């Protein structure tokens, strides 16, 4: 019966009356503030999770899980090294590669490129670039054919199509009577790929492994061996296992090393955004303090009457804890629902906003991808919900304690 009585009064105090309408308005503002803070947390963290997941997937679609190379960039005994690596747990496939930089020209356009020499058959097993072809096929690269695959943005910048011939200028020069002259080689564009990551689409060019060895004077050497794992998250462990089996003059790295700064930056940004937006939720929840203090002041006579009728200080405290907690729970649940609704429909909302403002909100040249991905993780939503509820409960304690200490005689002296 006491519980019903305390809940009844606590809920009744939430409803507006002409005499305390302003207090109820402040309470409504607190609920809206909690709702928006919780929703903002869920949306921002979902976007950052989605961004990290999407970029990681695209990086692993082009980059290797683990890479074995040498300190001088020329790996001579690579077949034996590939055989050793293939025997390690979690290693599914291996593929050799040659990597170098150069300049590519077509007509009057010149662009810097990262040239990667690959064996089409083996390369298709370690990366997914064969599935990202806009035109042509990865198998179009033939030894001695001097064909080349270009990223879609690189092809656009040069103004080339499949079948056009481009000139590749390599850093290694030829010594002539006139001095050092750059080496030039003409390649035929046999395909265009799009991995939806600007860094690769605008700079990567792929040629056959044998052609790369000839062009960069590698002989039978390669730049390294790429490994594909059954679980990319095991890359650091596999790297250590492989490195312990290889000669000391080899260098073993994994995708977390290659992109370490990027992923650390994302993690730091995620933590900072979580802290900043949690402070917004905290400000909104502690607005409940001022609301409840005003309610306690306004209800001094009511509290005194309840005390004279036999209500204990604990019961008085429960009334105001219930009032504040209901407001906190309402704001939190509304925020969770609103946040999940927005986060799960960003792929619809953002294009509408872009159409209204007439501009691209997420340019791929700056943000690597051109849309807002979203990955709602239950752990983040649970943590946000619990933090908001705990803050709302803490906000009710002081006003409720103050109400419980009200002395009936003092409160009714001037009534």
CA distance linking residue 328 with residue 324, whole number of Å:
6
Rounded to whole angstroms, the Cα distance separating 144 from 73 reads: 23
Q: List Cβ<8 Å contacts ≥24 apart for 177-186.
A: 183/215, 185/146, 185/215, 186/146
- Provide the phi-psi class of 161: left if phi over 0, else alpha when psi is between -120 and 50, else beta: beta
Residue with tokens 């089996």: 245
- 340 near 385, Cβ under 8 Å? no
Q: Is residue 64 predicted with pLDDT exceeding 70?
A: yes
Quickly state the pLDDT bin for 68 (edges 50, 70, 90).
Answer: confident
pLDDT at 179: 53
Q: Provide mean pLDDT across the span 70-88.
A: 85
The residue to which tokens 């997914």 are assigned: 128
Q: Kindly state the DSSP code that residue 311 receives in the 8-state scheme.
A: -
Q: How far apart are the first and last CA of the chain?
A: 29
How many residues are given for the chain?
415
List the one residue out of 16, 67, 6 whose CA is nearest residue 259.
67
**pLDDT at residue number 70:** 84
What are the DSSP calls for 44-91, one per residue?
HHHHHHHHHHHHHHHHHHHS-SEEEEETTS-BSSHHHHHHHHHTSTTE
Backbone Cα Rg of the chain? 32
* Residues 371 and 347: beta-carbon distance below 8 Å: yes
pLDDT of residue 1: 41
Q: How confident is the model at residue 180 (pLDDT cuts 50, 70, 90)?
A: low
What CA–CA distance (Å, rounded) separates 382 from 38?
11
Backbone angles phi, psi at 237, to 5 degrees: -70, -45
Q: Which of 87-101, 348-362, 382-396 has the lowest mean pLDDT?
A: 348-362
**What is the reported pLDDT for 14?**
63
> Is 215 in a helix, a strand, or coil?
helix
Return the H-helix or E-strand segment holding 6.
Answer: helix 2-12
State the sign of the Cα–Cα–Cα–Cα dihedral 230, 236, 240, 245: positive
**pLDDT for 399-409, tens place per residue?**
777 777 666 65
Q: Are 148 and 215 in contact (CB under 8 A)?
A: no
pLDDT tier, 2 (very low <50, low <70, confident <90, very high otherwise): very low
- Pairwise CA distance, residues 159 & 28, whole Å: 59
Pairing verdict, β 179-193 and 147-151: parallel
Place of tokens 């695209």: 58
Q: How far apart, in whole angstroms, are the C-alpha atoms of residue 117 and residue 142?
A: 11
Q: Which residues of 8-18 are buried (b: 16+ CB within 10 A; e: fewer)?
A: ebbeebbeeee
What is the predicted pLDDT for the residue at 377? Answer: 86
Predicted confidence at residue 336, as pLDDT, reads 92
- Closest to 394 in 3D by CA, of 313, 314, 277, 287: 287
Instruction: Name the more confident of 160 and 255.
Output: 160
More confident: 382 or 294: 382
pLDDT (mean) for 323-333 = 83
pLDDT tens sequence across 129-162: 767 788 888 888 888 888 999 988 899 999 999 8
pLDDT for 367-404, tens place per residue?
A: 666 677 888 888 888 988 998 888 888 888 877 777 77
Confidence check: pLDDT of 80 > 70: yes
Strand bridging mode 179-193 / 165-176 = antiparallel
- Alpha-carbon distance of 148 to 299, in angstroms, equals 81
Comparing 19-23, 207-211, 287-291, 348-352, the range with the smallest average pLDDT is 19-23
* Neighbouring-strand partners of residue 254: 66
User: Where residue 166 falls among pLDDT bands split at 50, 70, 90?
Assistant: very high
Higher pLDDT among residues 96 and 199, named by residue: 96
Q: Nearest CA to 191 among 216, 222, 154? A: 154
Residue that is written with structure tokens 């052609």 in the block = 211
Rounded to 10°, the helix 346-357/21-62 angle is 100
Residue 232 to residue 216: CA distance in whole angstroms: 31
């Amino acid at each position: 019966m006491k519980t019903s009585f305390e809940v009844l009064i606590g809920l009744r105090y939430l409803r507006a009356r002409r005499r305390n309408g302003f207090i109820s308005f402040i309470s409504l503002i607190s609920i809206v503030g909690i709702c928006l803070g919780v929703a903002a947390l869920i949306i921002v963290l979902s976007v950052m999770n989605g961004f990290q997941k999407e970029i990681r997937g695209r990086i692993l679609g082009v980059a290797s899980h683990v890479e074995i190379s040498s300190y001088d960039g020329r790996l001579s005994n690579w077949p034996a090294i590939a055989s050793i690596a293939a025997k390690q747990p979690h290693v599914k496939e291996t593929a050799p590669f040659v990597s170098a930089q150069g300049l590519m020209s077509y007509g009057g356009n010149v662009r810097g490129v990262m040239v990667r020499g690959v064996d089409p058959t083996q390369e298709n097993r370690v990366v997914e670039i064969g599935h990202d072809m806009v035109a042509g096929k990865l198998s179009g690269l033939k030894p001695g054919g001097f064909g080349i695959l270009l990223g879609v943005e690189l092809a656009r910048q040069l103004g080339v199509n499949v079948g056009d011939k481009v000139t590749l200028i390599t850093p290694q020069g030829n010594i002539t009577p006139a001095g050092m002259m750059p080496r030039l080689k003409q390649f035929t564009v046999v395909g265009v790929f799009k991995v939806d990551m600007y860094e690769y689409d605008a700079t990567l060019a792929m040629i056959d492994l044998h052609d790369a060895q000839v062009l960069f004077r590698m002989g039978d050497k390669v730049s390294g061996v790429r490994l594909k794992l059954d679980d990319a998250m095991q890359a650091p462990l596999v790297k250590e296992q492989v490195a312990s089996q290889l000669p000391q003059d080899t260098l073993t790295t994994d995708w977390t090393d290659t992109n370490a700064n990027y992923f650390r930056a994302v993690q730091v940004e995620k933590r900072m955004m979580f802290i900043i937006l949690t402070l917004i939720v905290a400000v909104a929840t502690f607005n409940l303090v001022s609301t409840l203090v005003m309610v306690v002041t306004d209800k001094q006579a009511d509290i005194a009457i309840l005390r004279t009728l036999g209500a204990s200080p604990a019961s008085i405290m429960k009334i105001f804890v219930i009032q504040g907690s209901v407001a906190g729970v309402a704001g939190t649940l509304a925020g969770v629902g609103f946040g999940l609704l927005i986060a799960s429909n960003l792929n619809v909302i953002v294009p509408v906003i872009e159409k209204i403002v007439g501009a691209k909100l997420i340019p791929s040249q700056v943000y690597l991808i051109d849309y807002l991905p979203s990955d709602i993780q239950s752990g983040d939503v649970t943590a946000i919900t619990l933090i908001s509820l705990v803050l709302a409960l803490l906000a009710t304690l002081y006003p409720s304690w103050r109400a419980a200490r009200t002395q009936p005689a003092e409160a009714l002296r001037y009534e």
